[in-house]
Amino acid sequence: MHILIVEDEKGIVDFLKQGLEEEGFTISTATNGKDGLEMALSLPIDLVLLDWMMPKMTGIEVCKAIREHKNTPIIFLTAKDTVQETIEGLKSGANDYIKKPFSFDELLERIKIHFRTSNESQIFTLGNITLDKSKFQVLIDQTEVSLTHREFELLAYLIKNKGSVCTRTKIIEDVWDIHFEYDTGVIDVFMNAIRKKLNLTKDQDLIKTIRGIGYIAND
């Protein structure tokens, strides 16, 4: 598996590169955001380890730009450690967020988790909707529909769990990776956008609202 490290601190880059190569990974590195973005988009990268504060482009800018084109797993490695900064990192499209200083063993386990997830079935269907996580693609009757990263992840979660009620609390935890009190009303905003793009109605669609609880997807 090919990991891209985008980090401007040479000591951290050398430490990560040596440790991950010893674990059998192929490693590429970039020391600024602009080069990191170009490599993430042009190379067959399986996972990105991304710093926040870097020359030329910030990690947030790089993450958002990658998400416009690819669904490659992204893990932030950063000294930014407030709750609000964590939320901002996750909202930009990151899959995970690890604060510096970090344990290499913990990082390694989180990388393995993301690779195990990426090796699971990547194609899900709901009625005439086909969602392919590996291609970051949604089709309705073979016509592609453009979704934002968060809309895509929310739709994928509901389809993957079709037949089961997905509560707003679980969605916030599992899709947004937020494990503290948070306004779950943001989910409704994303659901309205998804319904509009997929031409679904609230009363007669493949994803029904369970008032006061959450949503359920059914064929």
Burial class (CB in 10 A: 0-12, 13-18, 19+), 141: exposed
Q: Under a CB-based contact definition with an 8 Å cutoff, are residues 1 and 25 in contact?
A: yes
CB contact set of 21 (below 8 Å; sequence gap of 6+) = 27
Q: Residues near 200 by Cβ (< 8 Å), separated by ≥ 6?
A: 194, 206, 207
Indicate if the pLDDT at residue 39 is higher than 60. Answer: yes
Mean pLDDT of the chain: 86
CATH code for 123-217? 1.10.10.10
The pTM for the full model equals 0.56
- pLDDT of 96: 85
pLDDT confidence of residue 48: 94
Mean pLDDT of 84-105: 82
What's the pLDDT tens digit per position in 114-173?
777 665 557 889 988 999 876 788 998 888 898 888 899 899 999 989 999 999 989 988
Does residue 203 surpass a pLDDT of 70?
A: no
Q: For residues 146 and 158, what is the distance between their CA atoms, to the nearest angstrom?
A: 17
Half-sphere exposure of 130 (CA within 13 A, CB side): 10
Going from N- to C-terminal start, the domains of the chain cover 2-118, 123-217
More confident of the two residues 210 and 117 = 210
What pLDDT, on the 0 to 100 scale, is given for residue 44? 87
pLDDT the model gives residue 13:
92
The CATH superfamily holding the domain 2-118 is Response regulator (3.40.50.2300)
Q: What is the pLDDT of residue 101?
A: 82
Average pLDDT over residues 15-32: 92
Nearest-angstrom CA–CA distance, 64 and 88? 11
Q: Residue type at 61?
A: E
